[in-house]
Amino acid sequence: MANFWITFAVISYKISYQKLNISRMRRYLLFVMVAFVMSSCVSLKKIRYIQDVHDKENVEFLNETASDYKVKTGDNLYIDIKSLDTRNVNPFQNTPTGSYQMNSDAGIYLHSYMVNDSGYIDFPIVGKVHVNGLTIDDVKEELQKVINEYFQMTTVTVKLVSFKVSLLGEVARPGTYQIYQNNINIFQAISLSGDLNEFANRSRVTIIRKTKTGNRVYNVNLLTSEILESPLYYLQPEDIVYVEPLRGKNFTFAAFPYALIFSTISTTLLILNFFK
């Protein structure tokens, strides 16, 4: 945008202080206006997701990483035990007290079980149960097996409490989102934040993932179908998704400013007619 006004000022200067051919100046001005229009709008090729499959039908992509998330050190598990015989459940009751109720994230977190550095949770009566590397369903089966040794007619419910992802940058609503399911893909996560805006660089989306030794940074391209088979398609707890802006964002329009351009053209034509 700034470049356009600089060019406009130069043209006005040449008209004022140099005797240039008016018709040639008009052609030059028209060329500048067309170049400005072509360079200032966001191209559709920079906005459409997975562009290489839009003209195809019934395309199938396999993703072996769609399996359930495996529990690791630092995760928090919400565990609930129910039984037909209420006397059997009393030792496992984890009833919240005070202002933190179970219908709030804080209440669920405070009454969950953290996986320690050795991969165990410390469960009442049962003691230590190894859960590291197991899926949520595997943890449920393991606890059910252990509890059946003490009580009968019980049902175990296990949920992952600490599944949160953060979305930053060129998204409609940046923030941290709690995920109430075992897995979520990158498009579902983006939809939680209201989608990417027009200035988002969809060809370079950064995922910051926590590992045992620190953090690792990945870059993915949402414009091609390769993301559907990528191991990064499914996010993990505590992932940070950063969407960087397109280059030249400050000089780009999401919606073309017709009123501004038409008024500029009108003013320029008036100046040309005046000097003519």
What does the pLDDT read at residue 47?
74
Instruction: Return the DSSP state at 152.
Output: S
3-state secondary structure (DSSP) of residue 123: strand
Provide the pLDDT for residue 2: 45
pLDDT at 69: 83
- Of 68-82, 182-196, 207-221, the poorest mean pLDDT is in 68-82
pLDDT of residue 97: 47
Q: Residues of CATH 3.30.1950.10 domain(s) within the chain?
A: 76-160
Pairwise pLDDT comparison (56 vs 139), residue with the higher score = 139
- pLDDT, residue 26, reads 56
The second-level CATH assignment, the architecture, of 46-59+163-247 is Roll (3.10)
Between 89 and 76, the higher pLDDT residue: 76
240 phi and psi, to 5 degrees?
A: -115, 120
> Whose structure tokens read 């939809």?
191
What's the Cα-to-Cα distance from 157 to each of 43, 82, 83, 85, rounded to whole Å?
Answer: 49, 8, 12, 17
276 or 153, higher pLDDT: 153
Q: Please list the residues that pair with 137 across neighbouring strands.
A: none
For residues 37 and 48, the model is more confident at 48
Per-residue pLDDT tens for 122-166?
988 888 999 999 999 999 999 999 888 888 788 899 988 888 999
pLDDT per residue as tens digits for the range 238-257: 999 999 998 865 555 555 55
pLDDT for position 44: 63
Does residue 99 have a pLDDT over 50? Answer: no
Q: What are phi and psi of 70, to 5 degrees?
A: -100, 130
Residues of the chain with CATH 3.10.560.10: 46-59+163-247
* 29 DSSP assignment: H
- Kindly state the average pLDDT of the residues 56-80: 81
Maximum Cα interatomic distance, the chain, rounded to a whole number of Å: 101
Residue 222 phi/psi, 5-degree rounding, is: -90, 0
Fold for domain 76-160? Answer: wza like fold (3.30.1950)
Give pLDDT, residue 87. 62
Residue 219 clears pLDDT 90, i.e. is over it:
yes
pLDDT grade for 265, boundaries at 50, 70 and 90 = low
pLDDT in tens, 171-207: 999 999 998 887 899 999 999 999 999 889 999 999 9
Pairing of strands 234-235, 184-185: antiparallel
Question: Percent of the chain, pLDDT > 70?
Answer: 64
CA distance 40 to 198: 12
Segment holding 144, helix H or strand E:
helix 136-147
pLDDT band at 95 (very low <50, low <70, confident <90, very high): low
pLDDT at 215 over 50: yes
Quote the pLDDT of residue 180: 84
Q: What is the pLDDT of residue 222?
A: 95
Secondary structure (3-state) at 32:
helix
Helices (H), 176-225: 186-192
* Candidate from 8-17, 184-193, 211-220 with smallest mean pLDDT: 8-17
Whole-angstrom CA distances from 160 to 109, 139, 176, 181, 210 are 10, 10, 16, 8, 17
